[in-house]
């Protein structure tokens, strides 16, 4: 395939041009990248090094591979990389003014307020609020063959979101309607036809966004008045030391965004853990023993540090399959990454998914080996950004501890109720066209532990 440079560096500078094999305009390597992201990334790195460009999803995209380049982009010392225009391209109209889509001063202002909804005291009460829903959800599972773990975990985390995020008592029909709207809004981001045609994804997404806005707006006055232990109430009440608070519009926008940010990512993490625990029964047993040793059916906040094996498995699962596979940024002024010239207007992508599989940074990267994160090995310490499933810099996931808490709460109850397995040679078929997920829903044999 023909190679070409993205743009000539300014005369007199010692910067290098970004080179790539861009492929056909607009189309480029989109299909190959979607089908085989790991193979394409490896080939590109071997041919062009850490910084290269190509057409992807209708845009000229510079892909920066490896933790060193990830650090430059995510830490963003120069304020050259912006989130809003880059993420909006994919999820804009549906997650408009979500915090991840805000930039610089404005982002910092919102982040300071939002932080008040993620304090330790708040996390404690979210954790308490989710425990009964987890038990109820897991009890409703029907053991047997062909049990689709992904589909069930997706439903469970969605139902938990109604308790912990919204804290609103809903009739089943209304809960289903809100959940349906939410699913349509998420799906719309990966539509091929990216304008509203009735019946197609984009159109449904816009309608869903309106429905979600109306829902949160209707419940907002009561939340502001009565408070509560849920995220919705926390966002209504959040206030910085110097008295800044969210407006009603901000609360609505942040709620819709937070639901999206939390739901698929946590589901994917749990599903990946369930997959490897099925393939490596010795790890499943180790996790189960640790949970049983605690002697409590429900995990409490002060027990979180005790579940060391779940912690290792969660780290390894998010390394092997980063739930947010790529972090895009738009370049707002000419800048450089590792000595390469990056002109304003370029979209840059940090590929978390493939970075975690680089042989240059991880020994035997395809191997499931949770102990690589154990204190006596800490392979992730090779570079601060070698393991970065939660991103880094100003936009680093604000829900990271929430996610750990939810994953541990669910796994703790899951392993004590059920044992699950897959056939010896089973390999899951992954769909990497959007956020990664198993095409077959991860069917397992689920057995009740008596």
Task: Return the residue of 179, 266, 291, 309 that touches ligand HEM, per CB under 6 A.
Answer: 266
Q: Does 269 bind ligand HEM (CB under 6 A)?
A: yes
Q: Does 441 bind ligand HEM (CB under 6 A)?
A: no
Return the bridge partners of 418, or none: 448
3-state secondary structure of 361: coil
Contact 439, 430 (CB under 8 A): yes
Q: Match 């959940």 to its residue by tokens.
A: 179
Cα separation, 196 vs 168, in Å, equals 31
Cα separation, 349 vs 70, in Å, equals 9
Q: Which is nearer to ligand HEM, 57 or 261 (CB)?
A: 261
Cα separation, 227 vs 220, in Å, equals 10
Q: Could you tell me the two tokens for 447?
A: 């057995």
Instruction: Please provide the distance, in angstroms rounded to a whole number, between the alpha carbons at the two ends of the chain.
Output: 59
How would DSSP label each residue in 265-297?
HHHHHHHHHHHHHHH-HHHHHHHHHHHHHHT-S
The window from 203-211, 276-284, 321-329, 420-428 that contacts ligand HEM (CB under 6 A) reads 321-329
Q: Which is nearer to ligand HEM, 206 or 398 (CB)?
A: 398
Handedness of CA 151, 153, 159, 164 (dihedral sign): negative
Per-position x/- string for 327-366, each x denoting binding to ligand HEM as judged by CB under 6 A, each - no binding: x---------------------------------------
Q: Which is nearer to ligand HEM, 137 or 391 (CB)?
A: 391
Residue 302: DSSP 8-state: G
Cα separation, 150 vs 270, in Å, equals 8
Task: Return the residue of 37, 391, 438, 443 that touches ligand HEM, per CB under 6 A.
Answer: 391
Residues within window 399-428 making contact with ligand HEM, judged by CB under 6 A: 399, 402-403
Neighbours of 434 (CB within 10 A): 14
Q: Which is nearer to ligand HEM, 20 or 323 (CB)?
A: 323
Q: Which is nearer to ligand HEM, 269 or 309 (CB)?
A: 269
Q: Does 262 bind ligand HEM (CB under 6 A)?
A: yes
Task: Return the residue of 390, 414, 420, 428 that touches ligand HEM, per CB under 6 A.
Answer: 390
Q: Does 310 bind ligand HEM (CB under 6 A)?
A: no
Per-position x/- string for 83-112, each x denoting binding to ligand HEM as judged by CB under 6 A, each - no binding: x---------------xx----------x-
Half-sphere exposure of 441 toward its Cβ, with a 13 Å CA cutoff?
13
Task: Return the residue of 80, 320, 324, 337 that touches ligand HEM, per CB under 6 A.
Answer: 324
Cα separation, 324 vs 189, in Å, equals 14
The window from 174-182, 339-347, 372-380, 391-399 that contacts ligand HEM (CB under 6 A) reads 391-399
Q: Does 182 bind ligand HEM (CB under 6 A)?
A: no
Q: Does 75 bind ligand HEM (CB under 6 A)?
A: no
Contact 316, 370 (CB under 8 A): yes
Q: Which is nearer to ligand HEM, 99 or 188 (CB)?
A: 99
Q: Which is nearer to ligand HEM, 9 or 63 (CB)?
A: 63
Q: Which is nearer to ligand HEM, 181 or 397 (CB)?
A: 397
Task: Return the residue of 30, 88, 157, 265 that touches ligand HEM, per CB under 6 A.
Answer: 265
32 CA to centre of own chain: 22
Contact 113, 245 (CB under 8 A): yes
CB of 307 to ligand HEM, least distance (A): 16
The window from 195-203, 233-241, 322-330, 372-380 that contacts ligand HEM (CB under 6 A) reads 322-330
Q: Number of residues in contact with ligand HEM, rule: CB under 6 A?
A: 23
CB of 389 to ligand HEM, least distance (A): 5
The window from 239-247, 292-300, 358-366, 398-406 that contacts ligand HEM (CB under 6 A) reads 398-406
Between the CA of residue 65 and those of 44, 432, 435, what are the distances in Å? 9, 18, 19
How would DSSP label each residue in 8-56?
PPPTT--PBPPEE---STTTTTHHHHHH-HHHHHHHHHHHH-SEEEEEE
Using CB under 6 A, list all residues that contact ligand HEM.
83, 99-100, 111, 258, 261-262, 265-266, 269, 318, 323-324, 327, 389-391, 395, 397-399, 402-403
């Amino acid at each position: 395939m023909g190679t070409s440079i993205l743009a000539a560096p300014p005369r007199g500078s010692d910067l290098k041009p970004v080179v790539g094999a861009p492929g056909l305009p607009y189309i480029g390597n989109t299909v190959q990248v979607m089908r085989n992201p790991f193979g394409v990334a490896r080939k590109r790195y071997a041919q062009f090094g850490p910084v290269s460009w190509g057409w992807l999803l209708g845009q000229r995209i510079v892909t920066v591979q490896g933790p060193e380049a990830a650090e430059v982009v995510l830490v963003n010392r120069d304020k050259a990389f912006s989130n809003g225009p880059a993420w909006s391209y994919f999820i804009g109209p549906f997650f408009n003014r979500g915090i991840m889509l805000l930039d610089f001063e404005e982002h910092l202002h919102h982040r300071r307020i939002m932080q008040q909804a993620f304090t330790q005291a708040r996390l404690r009460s979210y954790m308490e609020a989710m425990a009964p829903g987890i038990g109820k959800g897991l009890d409703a599972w029907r053991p047997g063959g062909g049990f689709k773990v992904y589909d069930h975990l997706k439903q469970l985390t969605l139902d938990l979101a109604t308790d912990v995020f919204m804290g609103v008592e809903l009739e089943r029909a209304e809960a289903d309607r809100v959940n349906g709207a939410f699913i349509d809004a998420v799906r719309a981001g990966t539509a091929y036809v990216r304008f509203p045609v009735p019946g197609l994804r984009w159109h449904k997404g816009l309608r869903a966004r309106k429905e979600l806005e109306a829902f949160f707006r209707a419940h907002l006055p009561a939340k502001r008045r009565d408070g509560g232990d849920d995220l919705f109430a926390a966002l209504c009440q959040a206030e910085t030391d110097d008295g800044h608070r969210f407006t009603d519009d901000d609360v609505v926008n942040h709620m819709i965004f937070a639901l999206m940010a939390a739901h698929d990512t946590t589901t994917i993490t749990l599903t990946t853990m369930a997959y490897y625990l099925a393939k490596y029964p010795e790890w499943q047993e180790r996790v189960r023993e640790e949970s049983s040793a605690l002697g409590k059916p429900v995990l409490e906040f002060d027990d979180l540090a005790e579940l060391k094996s779940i912690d290792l498995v969660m780290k390894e699962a998010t390394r092997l399959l980063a739930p947010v596979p790529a972090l895009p940024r738009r370049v707002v002024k000419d800048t450089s990454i590792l000595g390469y010239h990056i002109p304003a207007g370029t979209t840059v992508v940090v590929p978390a998914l493939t970075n975690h599989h680089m042989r240059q940074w991880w020994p035997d990267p395809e191997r499931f080996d949770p102990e690589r994160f154990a204190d006596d090995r800490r392979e992730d310490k090779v570079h601060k950004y070698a393991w970065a499933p939660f991103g880094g810099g100003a936009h680093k996931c604000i829900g990271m501890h929430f996610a750990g808490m939810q994953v541990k709460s669910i796994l703790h109850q899951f392993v004590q109720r059920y044992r699950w397995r897959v056939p010896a040679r089973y390999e899951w078929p992954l769909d990497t066209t959007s956020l990664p997920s198993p095409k077959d829903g991860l069917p397992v044999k689920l057995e009740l532990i008596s």
